[in-house]
Chains A and B, each alone.
Chain A
């Protein structure tokens, strides 16, 4: 059973396109996250949702728009893709918000913008 799953695993697209990445967790967790891991392997939080409500919104270009249709799903839509958006995007979940809880990560989506 996959706890946190992401689709697609790989995404290659051209500059200017719009793309979406999907994430689902079957752990019954309330909180979900999007992280970006750059080419130097540095992992940084982008967004967090708790029970479908946005609770963390880091300094991310507004071309990035997360959406949580229910607490088991968190999608990331990216408009007008740029070369600098190339990275690995990880989805994660935790039982609740508040920083006290263990985080569980998905396998990542490697986005390449050409």
Chain B
């Protein structure tokens, strides 16, 4: 059974710092991994999607990497800004049985001005 864990659960950093969020999963048989951002009281916004055949994806100040064999992904945020404050969720799509996304519990990020 696929389990997705995100560490740390919460993180506070001063503005301008580079930071790394971690996501680990127990079953490496995945189609892809998706990183989302959730603002308080809002829905999820897709940030990056990494296919299982890819090693990384970049969008602006965000870079996500995937190491399928070790069951890990990282989301790197460069030069963090207060507007980056949100909860970041990772989700993996399974290849066994019915195809669905399994979500991690999220990392709550606060960037201090």
- Which residues of chain A from 35 to 71 have a CB within 8 Å of any chain B CB? 40-45, 48, 55-56
B105 engages A90 (CB within 8 Å)? no
Judge if B20 is at the interface, Cβ distance under 8 Å: no
The main secondary structure of chain B at its interface with chain A is strand
| Cβ 8 A contact of B105, one of A40, A56, A100, A110 | A40
| Cβ 8 A contact of B89, one of A40, A43, A104, A108 | A43
| Cβ 8 A contact of B100, one of A4, A45, A90, A106 | A45
**For chains A and B in complex, what number of residue pairs have CB atoms within 8 angstroms?**
58
Interface size on A, residues (CB 8 A): 24
- Which residues of chain A from 14 to 42 have a CB within 8 Å of any chain B CB? 40-42
Q: How far apart are A49's CB and chain B's nearest CB, in angstroms?
A: 12
